[in-house]
Chains A and B, each alone.
Chain A
């Protein structure tokens, strides 16, 4: 007879590993059912951006949510990833898509590391401003130097043929599967990363870096590492944003508003939570669609697009403040509270 231990009392080693049916079900839906049944609009306009934004949120969350270094330059690093991947695909086509993506991510990581160097001496708002410097500098770089966009007149980069082992990925389903696979792989890595020594050191630095230094964590090295890893994720997200979602991108696809959008994803979804990025990204990408549909339904197209956009801005602002006041740990906390409640329902305790 086995002793049954509840989640709350058992040390984690004693919890029996159960087959995660919920997760398997989700994977089945994502990999099999969605590509079979989803129409192009859903794949192109909703699922792909949702996945890419989740990945970008994940990248920023590793830096801001786990290591406590606020960054408002996320989109700059996304741009690096996009332009570097483009460069690889264009100039070294024999590398193939996966290696080009990886290369884009790595170059982005190097750039992130360089812009993260000041973190060894400064922190807080002062550091935040250096990430703004990165944002503006990188945006300028990709506009000013035609080498990055292959001397085109419009300054844009378009996806070369996306193909993997001879399979053409230029259909909505193909791009969806490419995005999904990349995002899931990187999410899996991130989950293990934050559970490892590295992740624990990051969180110690976030909670109080002076204390972390006192107990012997090499604070500077881990801050730099956080910048590099975060930029790696953001770079790959940027490449996917440019080639799997937009198709044709330019430096202005990665402006400061994109950075804010990603920051909002992690605020609303939940700082220091992996699943929170997905919830936050779903919220951020679905809310505008919902609002415009609601606007259509309520006013029957009489309300003009500019006003709708203003309204959307106000609603975003109100939501952010509400979240910060009521639930600083984000939607993911709200969901887990709900689950906890439901598991005891209808008993109160």
Chain B
């Protein structure tokens, strides 16, 4: 039984790492209706920038600050060059644009900073500690804590500040928000910048886990089922979805995997998401779309 709970807890903690990636998606989707496939590449770009700076001897805090600046500049450029010309186009068009964007960012990241695996040391020991007889990865605990802090900050930003109110207004009804004088372009810039910073946090944690390299951008594929289960429009949903995916993936790999040949993690989450879709087509916390002719 201890083994079961250990697997479960390990999965839940890994799930918070998925949630971190998924939150970046939800932010952008909520504010602009864009399904941002480039989130994974942004994550890679942020982590690579940080590691490159750090390797050059730039101190930790300064490197972090510089990377945040880079991500903000990137967000401004994306808004100006990609989003603004595509305003009012269909969601699928915007999605495909972000697909192109992910190619550009990946090409840039690897072209400028190389494609070899970089080690990233955040100064966290990956030594398991024992809690109530169960082995728990210390690193996972810290990652989970980071996720909690991030979500709290975002919740405060969304609910208590002026920017947050206008963000929610834009998400609710873009035209109405425009008509009362909310600057849509500014909102998009802010949201993409915030998503870039979220990507940085996720990129650092994932990068410390598996090395900073190209496969980091594939984390995006892990986050998709999380979004499906949680719903595209809910940050809370992203968290719950991440936990569900992480836990069930771990349990399935241990208990179902051996029965059908193992290595089922790449697709198990997707099948789980499909099962959820049959029951709730808009995810657990997503908004149901009402259609009019």
B window 122-174: CB within 8 A of A: none
Tell me the complex Cα distance, A170–B99, Å.
38
B window 254-273: CB within 8 A of A: 260-264, 266-267, 270-271, 273
Q: Say which residue of A125, A144, A306, A316 sits within 8 Å of B263 (CB atoms).
A: A144
A246 at the interface (CB under 8 A from B): no
The answer to whether B97 touches A125, judged by C-beta atoms less than 8 angstroms apart, is no
The answer to whether B111 touches A140, judged by C-beta atoms less than 8 angstroms apart, is no
Q: What would 4 more interface pairs be, CB under 8 Å, given A128-B95, A320-B97?
A: A125-B91, A129-B273, A133-B273, A324-B89
B73 at the interface (CB under 8 A from A): no
B278 at the interface (CB under 8 A from A): yes
Chain A residue numbers with a CB within 8 Å of B108 are 310, 314
A window 321-344: CB within 8 A of B: 321, 324-325, 328
Q: Say which residue of B107, B224, B232, B281 sits within 8 Å of A310 (CB atoms).
A: B107
The answer to whether B293 touches A210, judged by C-beta atoms less than 8 angstroms apart, is yes
A-B contact pairs, 27 of them (CB 8 A): A118-B278, A122-B277, A124-B92, A125-B91, A126-B228, A129-B225, A129-B270, A136-B267, A140-B264, A140-B266, A140-B267, A144-B260, A144-B262, A145-B261, A210-B292, A263-B96, A310-B106, A311-B111, A313-B104, A314-B103, A314-B108, A317-B100, A317-B101, A317-B102, A317-B107, A324-B96, A324-B100
The answer to whether A310 touches B274, judged by C-beta atoms less than 8 angstroms apart, is no
Please, which residue of chain A has its CB at the minimum distance from the CB of B91?
A: A124
Tell me the complex Cα distance, A318–B97, Å.
9
A46 at the interface (CB under 8 A from B): no
B window 5-54: CB within 8 A of A: 35
The answer to whether B267 touches A133, judged by C-beta atoms less than 8 angstroms apart, is yes
Please, which residue of chain A has its CB at the minimum distance from the CB of B266?
A: A136
B252 at the interface (CB under 8 A from A): no
Chain A residue numbers with a CB within 8 Å of B102 are 317
Tell me the complex Cα distance, A22–B85, Å.
38
Tell me the complex Cα distance, A310–B270, Å.
30
The answer to whether A314 touches B107, judged by C-beta atoms less than 8 angstroms apart, is yes
Chain A residue numbers with a CB within 8 Å of B262 are 144
**Interface digits, B75-96 against A, CB 8 Å rule (1 contact, 0 not)?**
0000001100110010111011
Chain A residue numbers with a CB within 8 Å of B82 are 321
Q: Say which residue of B35, B104, B221, B281 sits within 8 Å of A317 (CB atoms).
A: B104
The 10 closest A-B pairs by CB, nearest first: A317-B103, A320-B100, A133-B270, A313-B107, A317-B104, A314-B107, A310-B111, A136-B267, A317-B100, A137-B267
Chain A residue numbers with a CB within 8 Å of B97 are 320-321, 324-325
Chain B residue numbers with a CB within 8 Å of A27 are none
Tell me the complex Cα distance, A306–B82, Å.
26
The answer to whether B232 touches A125, judged by C-beta atoms less than 8 angstroms apart, is yes
The answer to whether B221 touches A324, judged by C-beta atoms less than 8 angstroms apart, is no
B110 at the interface (CB under 8 A from A): yes
B115 at the interface (CB under 8 A from A): yes
A260 at the interface (CB under 8 A from B): yes
The answer to whether B35 touches A321, judged by C-beta atoms less than 8 angstroms apart, is no
Q: Say which residue of B110, B263, B281 sits within 8 Å of A126 (CB atoms).
A: B281
Please, which residue of chain B has its CB at the minimum distance from the CB of A323?
A: B100
Q: Say which residue of A210, A267, A313 sits within 8 Å of B106 (CB atoms).
A: A313
Distance (whole angstroms) from the CB of B262 to the closest CB of chain A:
8
Distance (whole angstroms) from the CB of B209 to the closest CB of chain A:
21
A307 at the interface (CB under 8 A from B): yes
Q: Say which residue of A211, A310, A318 sits within 8 Å of B293 (CB atoms).
A: A211
The answer to whether A130 touches B85, judged by C-beta atoms less than 8 angstroms apart, is no
Chain B residue numbers with a CB within 8 Å of A130 are 270, 274, 277
Tell me the complex Cα distance, A143–B263, Å.
10
Q: Say which residue of A260, A263, A328 sits within 8 Å of B93 (CB atoms).
A: A328
